[in-house]
Amino acid sequence: MQQVQQDLLAALTAALENFLPGSGAKARFETPKVASHGDWAVTAAMQLAKPLGRNPRELGEQIRAALLASEAGQRWVSAIELAGPGFLNLRLKPEAKQQVVREVLRAPGEYGRQADHGQKLLVEFVSANPTGPLHVGHGRQAALGDAICNLFETQGWSVHREFYYNDAGVQIQTLAVSTQCRAKGLKPGLPGWPENAYNGEYIADIARDFQAQKTVVADDRSFTASGDVSDIDNIRDFAVAYLRREQDLDLQAFDVRFDHYYLESSLYTTGKLDKAVASLQASGHTYEQDGAMWLRSTDFGDDKDRVMRKSDGSYTYFVPDVAYHLAKWKRGFTKVINIQGTDHHGTIARVRAGVQAASAQQGLHIPPGYPDYVLHTMVRVMRGGEDVKISKRAGSYVTLRDLIKWTSKDAVRFFLLSRKADTEYVFDVDLARAKNNENPVYYVQYAHARIWSILGTWQTQSKMEFHELLNVDLTPLDSAPAQALMMLLARYPQMLTQASADLAPHDVTFYLRDLAACYHCYYDAERILVDDVKTRDARVALVRATAQVLSNGLALIGVVAPISM
């Protein structure tokens, strides 16, 4: 149906250009809010009425006549109705809607994807401090980041997935001291236990393996412990490597991969941080006050100026972020998306201000809105009708691996993408385990498996291969339920484009639930494996296309499309 839309869009564009040169850019089709109003709606008459000084209904009638008279209109449109102040509601012929079945079957895994356009995108997500296992909030970020990467790949972007490791600073020293105290026999609550130490049992595990002089192998490093509890530097390096490995295992369990792990410490060792600070000073947007260095971020729209270097000589945490984003730009990533928790909201203005100040000084021409951000709220976990607040191992939160163990990777991914990122979400473990229609991931996966059960029977009966469905006669697909299903399949490419533009992967889960529901309605309305071969094969082609789109959509969010359940 993409060809149908292109043909009709060209006809609409030509019609609008005849009324007002340059107005063809306003040519577009919208989906009516009420399905009974038609398949597509056109609002151009109301947009052009004022500049043309025309009555919108009269103008709408003329646009209607032009569309109906066009070659595309005569081929694909059954009726166009004028409604309200100038709405045009188009009703497509069944054969127009049937085109989508062939489009899906012709390019099954590629349906909805755009051609590569050569532009690069970097998505930074998870980026957890190596101080503990990944928690449920990290899981939401992993699901969001991975799905956004997949969405942009469908739109022709070359996507780079990056994890930024904060392996420098106060939290790493706290990790080292906590591990050292455990190795010396101290425990939380005992005299001598540091007030700000990490209390989870995983610290005891690290201390035990350190004393046993074990070797840990993480994604980017291997380290062997000395076993000397007085060697705080060795303890620090071992603990970071240990938790790097732990987080690698968490990510593997969630089936999330990264192209690169970028170390905060590298900003110091390569001189990138010093160069960024020098640029900020040379830009004229810094000043000294009360023994500290300040960035005049109000010059770039921030609500107040920000401390860059504290009186003790250490940098505040947003300064390395500025250096990191300058490095992203210099690496050729002119579009960057950061996935972070809502607690990072306050850092956005200061990071952008720092980037702008340094960019101007270095002549980098970085746009003001760089980088983009997606902020997500934390997740509450409920089990047995009660809040689950802690993990036995982590001590203060539910880990991602706990949630996967209690439910499944598929359920966790689907559920964590079932709401807008900035919306509070309650993860109901019991619902995620339920095998009924109340469980959204089960509902969608069951639709896919249900179709494959039919397809298996069809192959046995017909002795045909799936590629032969490309040549079947689709004219029997003229019923209302069949046409509703085809129109929803036709919406898939547009949904992907809009979800990418809006950084809204939850749109994919909404669409999949709608598609599963539409399929179930179709299945209940029409028997598919009927005796009439022509009708049977047409209906099989439709449900085969539906299964393909379900599979494509589930793959985008990292969920399996089972052929049996």
Write down the pLDDT at residue 302.
94
Grouping H, G, I as helix, E, B as strand and the rest as coil, residue 41 is: strand
Tell which CATH classification among 3.30.1360.70, 3.40.50.300, 3.20.20.140, 2.40.50.1070 matches the domain 2-92.
Answer: 3.30.1360.70
Residues above pLDDT 90, as percent of the chain:
91
The mean per-residue pLDDT over the stretch 221-242 comes to 96
- Residue 44: Cβ within 10 Å count: 24
Look-up: residue for tokens 């947009």?
47
Instruction: Classify burial at 3, counting beta carbons within 10 Å of its beta carbon; exposed 0-12, middle 13-18, buried 19 or more.
Output: middle
pLDDT tens column, 97-131: 999 999 999 999 999 999 999 999 999 999 998 89
The mean per-residue pLDDT over the stretch 451-456 comes to 98
Distance CA 125, CA 134 (A): 13
Write down the pLDDT at residue 2.
87
Residues 57 and 82: beta-carbon distance below 8 Å: yes
Write down the pLDDT at residue 401.
93
Write down the pLDDT at residue 221.
84
pLDDT tens column, 334-356: 999 999 999 999 899 999 999 99
Give per-residue burial for 170-197: e unless 16+ CB within 10 Å, then b: ebbebbbbbbbbbbeebebeeeeeeeeb
**3-state SS record for 238-272:** HHHHHHHHHHHHHHHHCCCCCCEEEEHHHHHHCCH
Every domain range in the chain assigned CATH 1.10.730.10: 437-556
Amino acid at 407: T
User: Is the confidence at residue 168, as pLDDT, over 90?
Assistant: no
Write down the pLDDT at residue 116.
95
Write down the pLDDT at residue 48.
92
Grouping H, G, I as helix, E, B as strand and the rest as coil, residue 380 is: strand
Residues 310 and 316: beta-carbon distance below 8 Å: yes
Every domain range in the chain assigned CATH 3.30.1360.70: 2-92
Write down the pLDDT at residue 397.
85
Confidence of residue 218 (pLDDT cuts 50, 70, 90): confident
Write down the pLDDT at residue 385.
94
pLDDT tens column, 30-61: 988 888 889 999 999 999 999 999 999 999 99
Write down the pLDDT at residue 370.
98
Task: Return mean pLDDT, the chain.
Answer: 95
Q: How many helical (H) and strand (E) elements, i.e. helices and strands, does the chain have?
A: 20, 16
pLDDT tens column, 518-556: 999 999 999 999 999 999 999 999 999 999 999 999 999
- If you write DSSP's letter for every residue of 279-321 in order, what string do you get? HHHHTT-EEEETTEEEE-GGGGT-SS-EEEE-TTSPBPTHHHH
User: Is the confidence at residue 391, as pLDDT, over 70?
Assistant: no
Write down the pLDDT at residue 92.
97
User: Is the confidence at residue 297, as pLDDT, over 70?
Assistant: yes
Token couple for 368: 């003001």
The mean per-residue pLDDT over the stretch 22-31 comes to 90
User: Is the confidence at residue 138, as pLDDT, over 90?
Assistant: yes
User: Any idea which architecture 437-556 has in CATH?
Assistant: Orthogonal Bundle (1.10)
Look-up: residue for tokens 């909805």?
112
User: Is the confidence at residue 394, as pLDDT, over 90?
Assistant: no
The mean per-residue pLDDT over the stretch 234-259 comes to 94
pLDDT tens column, 185-207: 999 999 999 999 999 999 999 99
Distance CA 97, CA 541 (A): 13
Confidence of residue 392 (pLDDT cuts 50, 70, 90): low
The mean per-residue pLDDT over the stretch 502-507 comes to 98
Confidence of residue 393 (pLDDT cuts 50, 70, 90): low
Residues 6+ apart with CB under 8 A from 481: 521, 522, 525, 526
Distance CA 135, CA 138 (A): 5
Q: Between the CA atoms of 499, 505, 508 and 510, what dihedral angle is there, to the nearest 10 degrees? A: -100
The mean per-residue pLDDT over the stretch 13-36 comes to 90
